Structure formats: C-alpha cells, structure tokens
Amino acid sequence: MFRKKIDEISQEDKDKYLDLINTTNAKFTTNKYGKEKIVAPHSSTYKIIQQLEGEKKGRGVFLPSDPNALCEQLELLMASKQAGSTGVRNEIVSICDELLRQKILPRDAYKNLMLTLNK
C-alpha cells in the first residue's frame, strides 16, 4: 500500500488487503486498559480501511458495509452501554439501521433493541 490514491490499486489487490485486514484484526487496537477498540478515525490506517471497505458516513458515524464487522462493533457498543457508557446510543442505532437495511437483523429484533436502548 504505497500508492497515494486508492483508485490506483487493482480490485484483486484491494480484496487481498481487505482479507489481510480482517485476518489480522487490523481495524482494532488495544487501549491502555487492555480493551479492544476501533482504530482512531483520524489515523492513516482507519482512512485506508475506510476507503477499501467503501464505508458509509452518516450522522458522524463511519459504518463498514461488512455485516460481520457491524455485528462485532454492535456487540462492543452494547457491552459498553451496559457498563454505563452514555455516548454510544447513536452509533448503536446507526449500526442497527444498517443491519436492518441489509436484511441481517429481523424487524422484530430491531424493535426489541430500540426498546432496550430507550430504557
């Protein structure tokens, strides 16, 4: 990945790089408390992953199009919310919306999650 523009990379190389990212879990880093989190949005690693995955931007939240990555992030955020974090609700809703749109999350499960968030 030494090219300046992502457009200069063949689709085959993009696929190989995405596979490497997923295999090595490069989207995540460990904080000083030993907890796993997504790499900082301002980092060059995040920007490259964002371009390769074709991530969507909505309401200030970057969402990967990969349903597995969305589910992993949703699990982390739900655990964070249960632990008392108050700043994750919008991201949880955005991920649930995307999973519903991709028909990964059934509508009744979506409704139950939204009711749980509003408690």
**pLDDT value for 1:** 46
Round to whole Å and give the CA distance between 18 and 33: 28
pLDDT at 84 (0 to 100): 87
C-alpha torsion sign, points 62, 64, 65, 71: negative
| Whole-number Å distance between alpha carbons of 105 and 87 | 23
Give residue 106's pLDDT: 94
pLDDT at 110: 93
Residue ranges for the chain with pLDDT beneath 70: 1-8, 25, 27, 31, 35-43, 45-46, 52-62
pLDDT of res. 59: 45
Q: What is the pLDDT of residue 55?
A: 52
pLDDT score at 105: 92
Q: Which pLDDT belongs to residue 5?
A: 57
Torsions phi, psi for 57 (to 5 deg):
-115, 125
